[in-house]
Amino acid sequence: MVGYDPGAQGSALSSQEAALAGSAAGMVTRALVSPFDVIKIRFQLQIECVSSQRREGRYWGLFQAARRIHAEEGLFAFWKGHIPAQLLSVCFGAVQFASFECLTEVVHKMTPYESQTAGVHFVCGGVAACSATVVCQPLDTLRTRFAAQGEPKVYRNLRNAVFTMCRSEGVLTFYRGLSPTLVAVFPYAGLQFFFYNVFKKMLDPPSKTGNSGGNLRSLVCGSGAGMISKTITYPFDLFKKRLQVGGFEEARARFGQVRSYRGLVDCAVQIAKEEGVRGFFKGLSPSLVKAALSTGFTFFWYEFFLNAMRNLKERQRENSFTKDAEDS
């Protein structure tokens, strides 16, 4: 079970082990869902005025976008920005799950609340995600820039992107879009952990041994939690992406219209005026597919790796007891 479980103290894992499992889960998941992330970002950055009578954007459907990106930029375009995205996933997974495990343990030991309740998971999951967001925001900005650029490329590689952005835009550019990210990430991650906890208990009652992960139910529960959470908080993800490519208009020009925003409120107002309410949900279809796969696989692999480490510790303990018995 995700979170501190007092019923599994004999095989409890440290924060370092939770961080390792979170990193591994993020790395595997990122490699699998990257194509959907690239397509989602392309939709989010596409400007289409609601008053226009004709289709202005380059992309208007999930499969059409996939075919067009493949035809114009090749297969590897679906993994554009994969290196900063992988660094983001590894870093975010480590900080988020280590923080979450620590927070649920603190709640259990220092408050009257039960650490395995859905409400506790909502709060602890949201706080843990905010911590991870602050740490990892520069990598998220880099990932968005790489996924957004077409051909010819503005940034040759990760090192070139970092130096170019620092020199031309300043260090603070790596934190573009942080405010809508923090506003969105707390309820988004909190709801992920909340619904995962609810679905998990509905479909898979807690095991007395504490071994409950790495199975199909984890994948299904995580997928459902991801889709619900993403739909509720989606507009803030779109605002973040629009703000992150500020100062990057040259690379976006060939994809259609570009806009500059002064901040979160200005971004929301301009989108509402020009693109209507539907503009807040551009790219929702690939985003939901990605959220279902991403959240499902993240919880699946996290519990898989946790159980692998827990089983390894159990075998080492048993071998130690056996050796001590033989020596005596």
3-state secondary structure 207-238: CCCCCCCCCHHHHHHHHHHHHHHHHHHHHHHH
pLDDT digits (tens, 9 = 90+) for 35-61: 888 888 888 877 776 555 555 667 778
Only one residue has tokens 């602890």, namely 124
Taking the CA of residue 40 as centre, how many other CA atoms within 13 Å lie in the half-sphere pointing to its CB?
Answer: 25
CA–CA separation, 250 and 255 (whole Å): 10
Of 12 and 231, the structure prediction assigns the larger pLDDT to: 231
Supply the pLDDT for residue 209. Answer: 46
Supply the pLDDT for residue 231. Answer: 92
Q: Which domains does the chain have, with CATH numbers?
A: 6-319 (1.50.40.10)
Of 4 and 311, the structure prediction assigns the larger pLDDT to: 311
pLDDT interval class at 193 (50, 70, 90): very high
Supply the pLDDT for residue 214. Answer: 54
Task: Count other C-beta atoms under 10 Å from residue 36's C-beta.
Answer: 23
CA–CA separation, 10 and 127 (whole Å): 27
Rounded to a whole number of angstroms, the CA Rg of the chain reads 22
Task: Let me know if 257 is exposed, middle or buried by CB neighbors in 10 A (0-12, 13-18, 19+).
Answer: middle
Residue 35 is inside which H or E element, if any? helix 15-44
pLDDT interval class at 98 (50, 70, 90): very high
Only one residue has tokens 């500059």, namely 260
- The pTM (predicted TM-score) of the whole model is 0.72
